Amino acid sequence: MIRVIFLGPPGAGKGTQASVLSKDFDVPHISTGDILRSAVAAKSELGQKAESYMNSGELVPDDLILDLIRERLTQEDAGKGWILDGFPRNVSQANFLDKLLVDIKQPCECVLNLEVPDNVLISRLLERGRKDDNEEVIRNRLVVYRKQTEPLIEFFRSRQQLVSINGNQPMDSVAADLKQVLQS
Ligand code: AP5
């Protein structure tokens, strides 16, 4: 059973590694980005509200995300553990999650922070080519990350929950480092 949060800039490998750990530890991989992209593809009300923010690299407003996370973490499969990827993304989401995890009695074990230099992030994302992976939007995502998400590093470090991993290595080596942390 693991309950962990992935932190790191766009392109750091959060989704890639969360997916590996989800299989290895048999717990759901909960990606707010994936949930939002599905909503956009389905043209649901959530998707229609979120799309313009996503296309410009801004965070979607908290009120679109918070209920969705509460609903997802209280589904039955999340009772056996979870890996959060892309949430929380700012201090108010982190405070919301804190209260929610107390309410549902599901403490988070650790926060895995993937560290990768900006030039590597940009080239990985340009190569991937998702809709929000063009140079202008990537640069804005990095600005938004520095301003809104990076403060969470100190937030979690001050609670002794943060473990930083070098994400600028081959995928298998990153996965091995992560497993070592989780099994220690
Ligand atoms: P989201 O989907 O969360 O995107 P992101 O944080 O920008 O993350 P990425 O998916 O780009 O990167 P990643 O770290 O997961 O890397 P990946 O494994 O994919 O969010 C998208 C948008 O949704 C946001 O901009 C926002 O609008 C909205 N949103 C989502 N959550 C929100 C929230 N909580 N609040 C508000 N808004 C929210 O890897 C990237 C590439 O690199 C891949 O091609 C991969 O194959 C490659 N790669 C990975 N690891 C390695 C490696 N070790 N070596 C070489 N290549 C690698």
| pLDDT tens-place string over residues 30-78 | 999 999 999 999 999 999 999 999 999 999 999 999 999 999 999 999 9
Report the separation in Å between the CA atom of 34 and the middle of ligand 1, taken as the mean of its atom positions: 9
Say which residues have a Cβ less than 8 Å from residue 57's Cβ, sequence separation at least 6.
Answer: 132, 137, 138, 139, 140, 141, 144
Judge whether residue 143 has pLDDT over 90.
yes
- Calculate mean pLDDT across residues 164-177: 98
Q: How far is CA 62 from the centre of its chain?
A: 15
Q: Collapse the DSSP code of 131 into the 3-class scheme (helix H, G, I; strand E, B; otherwise coil) and give the result.
A: coil
Binning the chain into helix, strand and coil, the percentages to the nearest 5 are: 60, 10, 30
- Answering whether pTM is above 0.95, one says yes
Report the separation in Å between the CA atom of 66 and the middle of ligand 1, taken as the mean of its atom positions: 19
Report the separation in Å between the CA atom of 152 and the middle of ligand 1, taken as the mean of its atom positions: 17
Nearest alpha carbon, ligand 1 atom 12: 11
Q: Which amino acid is at 15?
A: G
184 pLDDT band, cuts 50/70/90, is confident
Judge whether residue 127 has pLDDT over 90.
yes
Q: Indicate which residues carry an active-site annotation.
A: 14, 89, 128, 130, 141
Query: Ligand 1 — pocket residues by CB below 6 A?
Result: 8, 10-16, 32-33, 36, 53-54, 57-60, 65, 86-87, 89, 93, 124-125, 128, 141, 170-171, 174
Q: Which amino acid is at 93?
A: Q
* Token couple for 150: 């990076």
Cβ–Cβ under 8 Å, residues 163 and 109: no
Q: Give the tens place of pLDDT for each residue, 22-43.
A: 999 999 999 999 999 999 999 9
Judge whether residue 18 has pLDDT over 90.
yes
Judge whether residue 164 has pLDDT over 90.
yes
The residue written with tokens 């940009």 in the block is: 122
